[in-house]
Structure 1
Amino acid sequence: MDIRTIDDTISVAPQISVEDVAEAARLGFKTLVANRPDQEEYGQPAMADIEAAARENGLDWVYMPVESGNITDQDVEHFAPMIRDAEKPVLAFCRSGTRCTVLWALSAARSMPAREIIDKARNAGYDISGLAPRLAQQSQDKD
């Protein structure tokens, strides 16, 4: 399992296996978030199996599928309160971890400078510098 820490509240990972869930719990994660649609790709583990493992290992489970390459403002509107209210630390996963990172970044833009967001993502291995204009827009849309 390739866990990439963004900050002390959230880490992201590429697709995890059912077996990885116990390790995530052992590492101290409290909430597991799936941002990948079920059956997005042939051979990926069923989300129902990962959910069962999460519950079996005492993790809160959130299934919030998002279409790859098409993260909408509505997706961010759902992700922001979920991540704010989730028991932490959170481990979010998708195919590569990028979707989760982008969702986090766009929701964090409401309370954190874009440069800090881009740096945190880069430190976790994700270059989201191309999102700078959208991060600025999210910052302007603060509540």
Structure 2
Amino acid sequence: MKQVSAKLHVSTQVTAADLAKAKAAGVTAIINNRPDGEEPGQPSAAENAAAAADLGLGYSHIPVAPGQYSLDEVRAFQAAMSAADGPVLAHCKTGTRSASLYAIGEALDGRMSRDDILSLGQSLGLDLAGAVRWLDANSNN
């Protein structure tokens, strides 16, 4: 898990064992940003939702294709984070989509600049240039 903010951590694909470790670390909710079937052997959203429920964790599935963010997905991500009673773990294949959804929302709401997004990506070891490109292409949002 990489800490993005006081409330958000991101990670690569999680397993049921990873969810148990996340709960032990204080995570209260999971956001899955991977479409089902993206990669062979990937746990399905239903499998991870069941594992999260068994642990008493909140769970949201907001599937996003790599680099193809929409305003609706950004706002759904923000809503899932707001609904969580505590720290959230968002995951995708590398953590980049999850961090990008967060950064786009923060920029749209005036809490983060484009430069802040790139700095955040560097600090996490993730390339968030796609989030900046999305903002540039959708500046009227």
Output the TM-score relative to the length of structure 2: 0.86
Cα separation, partners in 2 of 1:88 and 1:135, compared to 1, 3 Å: farther
Q: Secondary structure at the match of 2:9?
A: strand
> Which residue of structure 2 aligns with residue 122 of structure 1?
122
Cα separation, partners in 2 of 1:40 and 1:137, compared to 1, 3 Å: closer
Q: Is the 8 A contact 2:69 2:134 kept in 1?
A: no
> Which residue of structure 2 aligns with residue 113 of structure 1?
112
> Which residue of structure 2 aligns with residue 70 of structure 1?
68
- Give yes or no for the alignment of 1:91 onto 2:95: no
Among residues 41, 44, 47, which one is paired with 1:46 in the alignment? 44
- Cα distance in 2 for partners of 1:69, 1:137 equals 13
- Cα distance in 2 for partners of 1:111, 1:86 equals 22
**Structure 2: unaligned runs, 5 residues or longer:** none
Deviations 1:25-59 (A, max 9, x none): 00100110100011111111122221111111111
Q: Secondary structure at the match of 1:102?
A: helix
Cα separation, partners in 2 of 1:9 and 1:136, compared to 1, 3 Å: farther
Deviations 1:54-112 (A, max 9, x none): 11111101111111221122221322222233222110001111110111111111131
- Cα distance in 1 for partners of 2:82, 2:120 equals 17
- Cα distance in 1 for partners of 2:101, 2:128 equals 11
Output the TM-score relative to the length of structure 1: 0.85
> Which residue of structure 2 aligns with residue 4 of structure 1?
2
- Cα distance in 2 for partners of 1:9, 1:131 equals 20
**How much identity, in percent, do the aligned residues show?**
32
**Which stretch shows the higher mean deviation, 128-137 or 59-68?**
128-137
Runs of 4+ in 1 over 4 A off after TM superposition: 136-140
Cα separation, partners in 2 of 1:39 and 1:56, compared to 1, 3 Å: same
- Cα distance in 2 for partners of 1:131, 1:45 equals 26
Instruction: Tell me the C-alpha RMSD between the 2 structures.
Output: 2.0
**Which stretch shows the higher mean deviation, 12-21 or 43-52?**
43-52
Q: CA deviation at 1:140?
A: 6.3
Among residues 75, 94, 98, which one is paired with 1:100 in the alignment? 98
**Structure 1: unaligned runs, 5 residues or longer:** none
> Paired residues, what number?
139
